[in-house]
Structure 1
Amino acid sequence: MDTYVRFCALVVSISLALNCLGSVAQLLPEEEVNVLKTISSKLQNKYWNGISRASCREGKGFNKTVYDKIFSNVTCDCSFNSNSICHVVIIQLKGLSMTGILPPEFAELTHLRELDLSRNYLNGSIPSSYGKLRVTILSLLGNRISGPIPKELGDIETLEELNLENNLLEGPLPTNLGSLSRLRKM
């Protein structure tokens, strides 16, 4: 009987070891973590405490719902490099009373598909670097953003929805926004 128990323990140990070897660590790249930390600091975002390479394990992000339409949502896609690398694909910071200027560092998140900073107290102008974004949705609704709309937003060929309502923007819409073939809601 003692041999049987040792055999079973060995089988369980081998099974656990193989299971651990088979699982893949799903991590954010260090440079993406640093960009997120910079953005969080600039926005004085208390909802992103403890951002690390492991913040997106299993495609989960770091999310916090305060009330129904007041929340911080960061969604990750962990399908890169044989499911071992994650990238942030959605950032929604809605109604969180965040202050400060719009961080140009959002443009460094090359896999970002949606950026929604609606209903905060963000001010300053829209960085021209946002023209590098490859988002389908860009919403800056209900902030205190001022100045002209940068023509570089017309370079976002993937853009389907653009919401800049209820801000202090001035001047005409950039003409190249009209040539965005996917833009269906503005």
Structure 2
Amino acid sequence: MVFMAMKLQSSSKYFLFFFMVVFFIAGYKSNAQYTQDATTDPSEVSALNAIFEQWSNIQMPMYWKVGDPCSTIVARNSSDSIFEDSGNNPGIRCNCSYESNTVCHITRLRAYALNAQGVMPKELLNLTYLEFLKIDQNFFSGPLPAFIGKMSRLEF
């Protein structure tokens, strides 16, 4: 009787271990698929490139030019401290939960105190999911454009 209880207990441990391994692998694979399949909306990539081309004195991160801007861990991280880190300036944050986790939208844009010069480009309107824009302490010229009022998700 004791032998059967020990055998049952032992097989339960193996079953539990097997179940945990399968669960871990499934979760890891699901997360890996999420990060590989989601890409930035192409209109937002074009807008981001156009914005930074119009602002002189700002060096746009190379990974924005040659790859998917939302593909970096910094862009997908939800931590404000990482987004606000001076090493991530200019920086973006993305939300990749759209269209069954296949499309990323830029929700935050930061180009703070970079001595940028130029006007507020109309391409900002193409960042339709933008909720936060930090571009102070630069040298932009001209009035604040009226189209800023059309950016309905932007929080002030």
TM-score bracket for this pair, using the shorter chain length: 0.5 to 0.7
Q: Which residue of 2 aligns with 1:82?
A: 100
* CA distance in 2: counterparts of 1:32 and 1:59, whole angstroms: 18
Assess, with a 3 A threshold, how the Cα gap between structure 1 residues 58 and 92 changes in structure 2: closer, same or farther.
closer
For structure 1, the 5+ residue unaligned runs are: 1-14, 138-160, 162-186
Residues 45-60 of structure 1: pairs in structure 2 closer than 5 A: 45-51=58-64, 54-57=68-71, 60=74
Q: Find the partner of 2:50 among 33, 38, 42.
A: 38
Q: Could you say which structure has the greater relative contact order, defined with CA pairs below 8 angstroms and 6 or more residues apart?
A: 2
Contact 1:60–1:76 (Cα < 8 Å) also in 2: no
One-letter amino acid of the structure 1 residue matched with residue 100 of structure 2: S
Secondary structure of 1:124's counterpart equals coil
Contact 1:59–1:78 (Cα < 8 Å) also in 2: no
Contact 1:97–1:120 (Cα < 8 Å) also in 2: yes
Q: Which residue of 1 aligns with 2:75?
A: 61
Q: Which residue of 2 aligns with 1:125?
A: 143
Q: Find the partner of 2:119 among 101, 105, 109.
A: 101
Q: Which residue of 2 aligns with 1:144?
A: none
Deviation at 1:53, TM superposition (A): 5.7
One-letter amino acid of the structure 1 residue matched with residue 39 of structure 2: L
Assess, with a 3 A threshold, how the Cα gap between structure 1 residues 46 and 74 changes in structure 2: closer, same or farther.
same
> Higher helix share goes to which structure?
2
Q: Percent identity?
A: 21
Higher-Rg member (1/2): 2
Contact 2:40–2:69 (Cα < 8 Å) also in 1: yes
Q: Find the partner of 2:134 among 107, 116, 125.
A: 116
For structure 2, the 5+ residue unaligned runs are: 1-24, 77-82
* CA distance in 2: counterparts of 1:96 and 1:65, whole angstroms: 14
Contact 2:108–2:133 (Cα < 8 Å) also in 1: yes
One-letter amino acid of the structure 1 residue matched with residue 70 of structure 2: C
* CA distance in 1: counterparts of 2:43 and 2:113, whole angstroms: 27
* CA distance in 2: counterparts of 1:76 and 1:23, whole angstroms: 17
Secondary structure of 1:91's counterpart equals strand
One-letter amino acid of the structure 1 residue matched with residue 61 of structure 2: W
What is the alpha-carbon root mean square deviation over aligned residues? 3.2
Over residues 139-176 of structure 1, what are the superposed CA-to-partner deviations in whole Å (9 max), with x where a residue is unaligned? xxxxxxxxxxxxxxxxxxxxxx2xxxxxxxxxxxxxxx
Deviation at 1:84, TM superposition (A): 1.1
Assess, with a 3 A threshold, how the Cα gap between structure 1 residues 64 and 38 changes in structure 2: closer, same or farther.
farther
Deviation at 1:58, TM superposition (A): 6.9
